[in-house]
């Protein structure tokens, strides 16, 4: 009887293993404030939305290239002091000149970063 349960138990354990593809749940932005509305809160918020939109652009070369391209885009802004990446978790931590730090995730809404209106 117990020998019959062992394969079922192993199958149940295998089925319980989760997928480690975090990109889709993070980039979906379901239930969050729309990116254009958040960008209207201020200059730093608009810059973080622009970085997130560039972070979501497909480069077809894997997450490492995607992270490097988003970091290069973030460094073009004079207000950005530091950018740190977590390529496996699809997050960038951006520090602004004012001291504000924020986590930027991919924003897959079909827009590019340059389409974001950044107040001066």
- The predicted pLDDT at position 77 comes to 96
- The predicted pLDDT at position 22 comes to 67
pTM of the model: 0.79
Decide if pLDDT at 20 tops 70: no
- The predicted pLDDT at position 31 comes to 78
- The predicted pLDDT at position 87 comes to 63
pLDDT band at 1 (very low <50, low <70, confident <90, very high): low
**For 62-114, what is each residue's pLDDT tens digit?**
778 888 899 999 999 999 999 999 866 788 999 999 999 999 999 988 899 99
- pLDDT, average across residues 4-8: 83
- pLDDT, average across residues 4-22: 77
Decide if pLDDT at 27 tops 80: no
SS (H, E, C) the chain: CHHHHHHHHHHHHHHHCCCCCCHHHHHHCCCCCCHHHHHCCCHHHHHHHHHHHHHCCCCCCCHHHHHHHHHHHHCCCCCEEEEEEECCCCEEEEEECCCCEEEECCCCCCCCHHHCCCCC
Question: Could you state, in order of their start, the residue ranges of all structural domains in the chain?
Answer: 20-115
Higher pLDDT among residues 82 and 9, named by residue: 82
């Amino acid at each position: 009887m117990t020998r019959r349960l062992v394969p079922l138990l192993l199958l149940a354990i295998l089925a319980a293993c989760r997928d480690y593809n975090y990109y889709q749940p993070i980039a979906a932005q379901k239930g969050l404030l729309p990116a254009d509305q958040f960008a209207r809160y201020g200059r730093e918020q608009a810059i973080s939305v622009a970085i997130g939109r560039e972070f979501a652009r497909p480069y077809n070369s894997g997450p490492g290239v995607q992270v490097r391209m988003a970091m290069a885009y973030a460094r073009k802004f004079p207000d950005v002091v530091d950018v740190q990446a977590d390529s496996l978790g699809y997050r960038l931590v951006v520090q602004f000149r004012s001291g504000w730090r924020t986590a930027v995730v991919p924003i897959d809404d079909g827009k590019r970063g340059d389409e974001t209106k950044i107040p001066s």
